Amino acid sequence: MQSQTYELKAVVVVGDILETGGSVTQDKCMTVQRFNYTCQRKRDDTGKAYGPTDPVFLNFTIRVNSSEQAKPFYQNMVSTTHYPVSFLFNASFNATLRLADYADAMVVDGYVIDVKDNFNSGTPGTSETEQISLDVQVQVRSITYLGRGNNKVMTFIK
């Protein structure tokens, strides 16, 4: 009997997975430890939406393997242009460590507005290694949900 895991594993890649596709290598993927966002609209008593969409902020925490992986988030924070990041759920890689498949994904285009880093250094003389985690906050411009067969785009800032 085959064992199945019901744990959702997510990785983040800097860039738009729709453009990069199979050229994504496993070393460019960072493990997502936590992420959350809320999309809201005001509605009247009949359920009809009115007014602008409330600003959407995506918060996520990732584990990075080197300070080089953190660099794009800091660069994007001081930039005035928006950038995409892709979240891949249950990604699998082929023998050459290139992206082979994923269950679902979402491409978030937006502005990095905050980055906090947490350094945990290993204990000397043990097998523990240094770990860096980043808490990133993005003001979302748009989210593209990638599913099997069709994609759904939600735009918040034009």
pLDDT the model gives residue 123: 61
The CA distance from 75 to 20, in Å, is 20
pLDDT the model gives residue 3: 47
List per-block mean pLDDT (blocks of 10 residues) for the chain, which spans 158 residues: 59 90 85 90 87 88 87 92 94 89 92 90 62 92 84 76
The CA distance from 43 to 49, in Å, is 4
Instruction: Look up residue 46 and give its two tokens.
Output: 């009949």
pLDDT the model gives residue 122: 64
| CA proximity to 132, closest of 62, 40, 79, 80 | 62
3-state secondary structure of 103: coil
pLDDT the model gives residue 127: 54
pLDDT the model gives residue 114: 95
pLDDT the model gives residue 22: 67
